[in-house]
């Protein structure tokens, strides 16, 4: 098992990424650029420097070891020129405050599988398993194929959280090794989908249809963003999905939260949707009730 991928997080004992107790593997790289993304550090498939502003004590050790003038201190502030960073990691090594870290490291499928199998007994007792997430896990296709195949051989339930934005050929190749898809349904309409995510939804919807008719269980995941898709058109489209695909295992409503913006700043990106606040539980419940009033009784807050 020698295929490699850039992994940015491994979460054990996860309860929200598929059925039962799971180990979720987060892979870097995504073909979409959603304005509300809560994992913006997953956008590119290579390691990145991550700066926790609130943990920095302004000790200046990072600037002393950096030969590229990435770290600057002026007027009591620590700023970073991310474009100059060569990812040498020297600044991370000398940071005593955990203000700096590298996001993403290369791992083989064998190394990841070792982490997964550590909780095998919990999977068996709870009906859990391994979940590949991201980013878009199928973007690092050879790695994902290898570890999914091996998990199936070992009797580990497999789940893939996906945007669906992958070639039909690759999607068809990977389906036999997936026990359940967490499939994103983000925005209704080709033009709006491209406006808010950067890509058309044409191939995404085709892959969703393929997975459904291949009889892979699917939970539809629907991020709801105020001012973007919290409208009757989109809610009725979600209900139409429920009618078109009556055997969907579930429809999860994912209310917008602001966590992604703080992460964006930490990797040198500008904020998006900066005017929006985290959605309250009351608003989220109203969305679910609206969906149910249209006949979508599977809808629940994810």
What is the reported pTM?
Answer: 0.94
Could you tell me the CATH number of the domain that includes residue 116?
3.20.20.70
pLDDT of 182-209, one tens digit each? 999 999 999 999 999 999 999 999 999 9
Note whether 57 and 148 are same-domain residues: no
Note whether 99 and 206 are same-domain residues: no
Query: Could you tell me which of 93, 111, 96, 91 has the C-alpha nearest to residue 10?
Result: 111
Burial class of residue 149, CB neighbours in 10 A (0-12, 13-18, 19+): middle
Note whether 219 and 287 are same-domain residues: yes
Q: Which domain holds residue 92?
A: 51-103
Note whether 167 and 222 are same-domain residues: yes
- 104: which 2 tokens? 């993403």
The domain tally of the chain equals: 2
pLDDT of 223-258, one tens digit each? 999 999 999 999 999 999 999 999 999 999 999 999
Q: Decide if 214 contacts 175 (C-beta within 8 A).
A: yes
**C-alpha pair distances (Å), 187 with each of 46, 196, 202, 248:** 28, 8, 12, 18
pLDDT of 10-24, one tens digit each? 999 999 999 999 999
Q: Decide if 184 contacts 164 (C-beta within 8 A).
A: yes
Domain boundary among 88, 103, 118: 103
Question: Would residue 136 be called left, alpha or beta, if left means φ above 0 and alpha means ψ between -120 and 50 degrees?
Answer: beta
CA 257 – CA 117 distance, rounded (Å): 32
Note whether 86 and 108 are same-domain residues: no
Note whether 221 and 83 are same-domain residues: no
- 46: which 2 tokens? 């290579």
Note whether 125 and 219 are same-domain residues: yes
């Amino acid at each position: 098992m020698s295929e490699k991928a850039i992994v940015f997080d491994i979460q054990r004992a996860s309860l929200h990424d598929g059925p039962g107790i799971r180990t979720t593997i987060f892979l870097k790289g995504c073909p979409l650029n959603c304005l509300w993304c809560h994992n913006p550090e997953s956008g590119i498939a290579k390691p990145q420097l991550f700066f926790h502003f609130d943990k920095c004590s302004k000790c200046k050790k990072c600037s002393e070891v950096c030969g590229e003038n990435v770290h600057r201190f002026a007027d009591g502030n620590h700023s970073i020129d991310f474009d100059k960073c060569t990812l040498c990691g020297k600044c991370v090594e000398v940071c005593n405050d955990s203000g700096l870290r590298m996001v993403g490291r290369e791992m083989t499928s064998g190394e990841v599988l070792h982490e997964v199998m550590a909780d095998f007994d919990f999977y068996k007792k709870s009906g859990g398993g391994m979940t590949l997430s991201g980013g878009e896990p199928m973007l690092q296709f050879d790695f994902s194929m290898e570890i999914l195949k091996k998990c199936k051989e070992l009797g580990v339930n497999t789940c893939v959280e996906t945007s669906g934005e992958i070639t039909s050929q690759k999607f068809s190749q990977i389906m036999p090794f997936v026990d359940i898809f967490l499939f994103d349904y983000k925005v209704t309409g080709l033009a709006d989908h491209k406006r808010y995510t950067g890509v058309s939804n044409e191939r995404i919807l085709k892959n969703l249809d393929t997975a459904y008719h291949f009889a892979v269980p699917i939970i539809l995941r629907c991020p709801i963003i105020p001012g973007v898709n919290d409208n009757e058109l989109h809610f009725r489209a979600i209900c139409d999905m429920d009618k078109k695909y009556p055997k969907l295992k579930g429809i999860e409503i994912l209310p917008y939260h602001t966590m992604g913006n703080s992460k964006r700043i930490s990797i040198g990106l500008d904020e998006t949707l900066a005017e929006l606040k985290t959605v309250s539980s009351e608003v989220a419940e109203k969305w679910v009730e609206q969906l149910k009033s249209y006949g979508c009784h599977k809808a629940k807050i994810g």
